[in-house]
C-alpha cells in the first residue's frame, strides 16, 4: 500500500514541515510513500532541505510529484533541488526546468554536506554572494558577512561531526509579503536525517543518563549549554557562536531533533505570535533540522 | 630566533591548494600539525609569528584547533623542555571574534601584532597581569623591581606575576630580565 504525503501549499516554516512529518508518522520505513507537491507554490530553504531529508529516512525509494506551477518548479530547479531529489525520489510527471540562469535571491543552492571538504565548498561559495545581499539588501554592517559565514560553517559542521550521515544546506533571500511589514529576510535551512542530538550526546562515555533525559533535555544541553559528546573542553562552541551572531543581528534559530524543538534566540519580530520557545512530544523524526532567519535591519 | 609561519601557505600545503578559509576541525588539526612540524625544526627558545594576514574566514572550530591547542600544548606546563613563544599577526576583527571565544573557553591569552607595530594582549588575564605585561612592554626589558615602580605593585607580587606570564609564554625570559612577546619581533 502506498501512503500519499501531501506537501502543503506553502512549505515555509516549522508548522508546515510538522504537517509533513505527521503524515509519515507510523508508516514503516520500508513502506511506499508518494510525496505530492503538485499544489505547492512556495518552499523555503528549510522546506526544500526537509523534503530531501524526508526521502533519506525511507528504505523504499519514495515517489514524487513536482509542483505544477511553472515559476515554483523553475525556482526549485534553480535551487538545485531537483538535482538531488532525482537521486532520492522516483519522479512522476515532469519537473519544470529552470527558465532563467542564475538567481540573485539564491545565496546558496541546495548543497549536500557530508564531509569537511563540503563545508569548505559551502563557505567559499557563499562568500561570493553574501556580501552584497547582507550589506545592501539587509543593511547589515560589512562585518556581519564574515560572521554570517561563520554561523553557516558551524551549522554545517554539526552534520559532519555529529549526524553520522550526510545532510543538506540551502540559503535564500526573499521578501516576506505578509510578515514584518514586507521586510527582506535571509533564510538558511540545514537538515539531516542522522542520529540526532540525543543519540549523539548519549554516545559520550561521560554522559550520565538521568530519569529526565529525553530529546528536550538533550536539545537544551547542546544548544543552550554548549554540551558536546566530546570530552575536549574546546568542543560545543558551534551553537553558542551561531546564537551570538543571531543575538547581535536580531535573528532567529529553530532547532528540531527527535521529538523536540527549541527556538533560541527568539526575536521580538517573530511573525508567529504564539510560537513556544520549546516544544516537546512532537512526532518523532530522525536527525537534526535547523532553520535560521536574519531580517533586514530597520532604522 | 624568530620563525614566520604564513597560515594560508600551511593551509594550502597541508589541506588543499584551493582553500583560503580556516574552517572545520579537521582542517584546523591539519594546519596545527603543519605548524608543529615546522616548530620541531627550530631552535629552542624560539619566537614564532603565526600570520593570519592572508586567511579569509576563521571559524570557532579552527580557532580552537589551531590557536587554543597550540597555546595549550606549548605552555610551560605541557612542554616544560621548550620555550616556544607565539605572536599572532594579521588578525582581523572577525578572526578575533573566534579567537576571543576560544581563549575565554580555555582561559588562555596571547599577543597580537597588526604588522605596523600595534601590539595587543588578548584573552583571559586579570588587571594585575595585564598591567604587568604592559609595563614590561613599555620598558622593553624589566625585572620585578622595575615593574613595582612602573605598575605600582609590590616587587614580590610583581615577580610572581612575571613568572606566571612567562609560564603562559606571554613574556620571554633572558639573563637581563623579562621581555614582552611582541616587543622584539
Here the ipTM equals: 0.80
Say what the pLDDT of residue A100 is: 65
Diameter over CA atoms, chain B: 54
Say what the pLDDT of residue A101 is: 61
Which residues of B28-114 form beta strands (DSSP E)? 46-51, 84-89, 109-113
Class of CATH domain B2-124 = alpha beta
d(CA A69, CA A41): 7
Q: Where are the domains of chain B?
A: 2-124, 126-185
Q: Where are the domains of chain A?
A: 1-103, 104-299
Task: Look up residue B22 and give its DSSP letter.
Answer: B
Task: Look up residue B58 and give its DSSP letter.
Answer: B
pLDDT band at A40 (very low <50, low <70, confident <90, very high): very high
B126-185 maps to which CATH number? Answer: 1.10.10.10
Tell the residue number behind the cell numbers 619581533, with chain if given: B185
Mean pLDDT of chain A: 90
Closest CA to B88 of B56, B118, B130, B62: B118
Q: In this model, does residue A99 exceed pLDDT 80? A: no
d(CA A170, CA A280): 26
Closest partner CB to B105 (pick from A149, A233, A238): A233
Min Cα–Cα distance to chain A from B83, Å? 24
Asked whether the beta carbons of B107 and B143 are under 8 A apart, the reply is no
Asked if A150 lies within 8 A of B59 by C-beta distance, the reply is yes
B59 CB neighbours in chain A (<8 A) are 150, 153-154, 157, 241
Question: Looking at domain A104-299, does it have CATH number 3.40.50.450?
Answer: no
Say what the pLDDT of residue A97 is: 78
d(CA A128, CA A138): 16
Asked whether the beta carbons of A120 and A154 are under 8 A apart, the reply is no
Min Cα–Cα distance to chain B from A289, Å? 20
Asked whether the beta carbons of A38 and A63 are under 8 A apart, the reply is no
Say what the pLDDT of residue A127 is: 82
Tell the residue number behind the cell numbers 532567519, with chain if given: A293
CATH of A1-103, one of 1.10.760.10, 3.30.750.24, 2.60.40.180, 1.20.120.420: 3.30.750.24
Say what the pLDDT of residue A78 is: 92
A142 touching chain B per CB within 8 A: no
Amino acid at each position: 500500500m502506498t501512503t500519499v504525503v501531501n506537501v502543503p501549499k506553502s512549505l515555509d516554516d516549522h508548522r508546515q514541515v510538522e504537517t509533513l512529518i505527521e503524515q509519515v508518522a507510523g508508516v514503516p520505513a520500508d513502506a511506499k510513500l508518494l510525496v505530492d507537491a503538485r499544489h505547492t507554490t512556495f518552499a523555503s530553504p528549510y522546506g526544500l532541505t526537509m523534503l530531501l531529508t524526508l526521502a533519506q529516512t525511507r528504505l523504499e525509494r519514495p515517489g514524487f510529484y513536482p509542483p505544477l506551477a511553472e515559476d515554483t518548479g523553475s525556482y526549485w530547479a534553480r535551487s538545485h533541488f531537483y538535482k538531488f531529489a532525482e537521486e532520492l525520489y522516483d519522479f512522476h510527471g515532469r519537473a519544470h526546468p529552470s527558465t532563467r540562469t542564475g538567481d540573485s535571491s539564491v545565496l546558496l543552492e541546495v548543497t549536500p554536506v557530508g564531509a569537511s571538504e563540503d563545508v569548505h565548498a559551502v563557505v567559499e561559495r557563499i562568500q561570493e554572494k553574501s556580501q552584497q545581499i547582507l550589506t545592501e539588501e539587509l543593511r547589515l554592517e560589512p562585518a556581519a558577512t564574515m560572521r554570517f559565514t561563520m554561523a553557516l560553517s558551524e551549522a554545517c559542521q554539526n552534520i559532519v561531526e555529529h549526524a553520522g550521515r550526510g545532510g543538506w544546506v540551502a540559503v535564500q533571500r526573499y521578501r516576506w509579503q505578509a510578515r514584518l511589514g514586507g521586510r527582506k529576510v535571509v533564510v538558511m535551512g540545514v537538515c539531516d536525517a542522522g542520529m540526532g542530538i540525543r543519540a549523539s550526546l548519549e554516545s559520550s562515555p561521560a554522559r550520565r543518563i538521568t530519569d529526565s533525559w529525553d530529546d528536550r533535555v538533550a536539545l537544551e544541553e547542546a544548544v543552550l549549554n554548549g554540551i558536546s559528546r566530546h570530552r575536549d573542553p574546546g568542543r560545543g562552541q558551534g551553537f553558542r557562536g551561531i546564537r551570538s551572531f543571531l543575538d547581535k543581528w536580531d535573528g532567529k534559530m529553530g532547532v528540531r531533533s527527535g521529538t523536540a524543538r527549541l527556538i533560541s534566540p527568539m526575536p521580538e519580530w517573530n511573525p508567529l505570535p504564539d510560537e513556544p520557545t520549546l516544544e516537546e512530544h512532537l512526532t518523532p523524526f530522525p536527525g537534526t533540522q535547523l532553520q535560521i532567519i536574519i531580517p533586514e535591519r530597520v532604522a | 630566533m624568530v620563525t614566520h609561519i604564513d597560515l594560508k601557505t600551511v593551509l594550502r600545503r597541508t589541506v588543499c591548494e584551493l582553500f583560503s578559509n580556516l574552517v572545520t576541525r579537521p582542517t584546523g588539526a591539519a594546519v596545527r600539525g603543519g605548524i608543529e612540524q615546522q616548530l620541531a625544526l627550530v631552535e629552542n627558545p624560539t619566537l614564532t609569528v603565526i600570520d593570519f594576514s592572508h586567511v579569509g574566514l576563521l571559524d570557532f572550530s579552527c580557532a580552537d584547533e589551531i590557536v587554543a591547542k597550540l597555546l595549550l600544548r606549548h605552555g610551560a606546563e605541557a612542554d616544560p623542555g621548550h620555550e616556544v613563544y607565539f605572536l599572532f599577526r594579521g588578525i582581523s576583527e572577525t578572526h578575533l571574534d573566534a579567537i576571543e571565544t576560544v581563549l575565554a573557553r580555555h582561559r588562555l591569552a596571547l599577543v597580537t601584532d597588526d604588522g605596523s607595530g600595534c601590539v595587543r594582549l588578548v584573552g583571559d588575564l586579570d588587571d594585575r597581569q595585564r598591567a604587568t605585561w604592559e609595563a614590561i612592554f613599555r620598558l622593553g626589558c624589566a625585572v620585578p623591581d622595575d615593574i613595582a615602580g612602573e605598575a605600582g605593585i609590590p616587587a614580590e607580587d610583581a615577580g610572581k606575576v612575571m613568572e606566571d606570564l612567562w609560564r603562559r609564554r606571554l613574556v620571554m625570559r633572558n639573563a637581563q630580565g623579562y621581555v614582552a612577546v611582541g616587543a622584539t619581533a
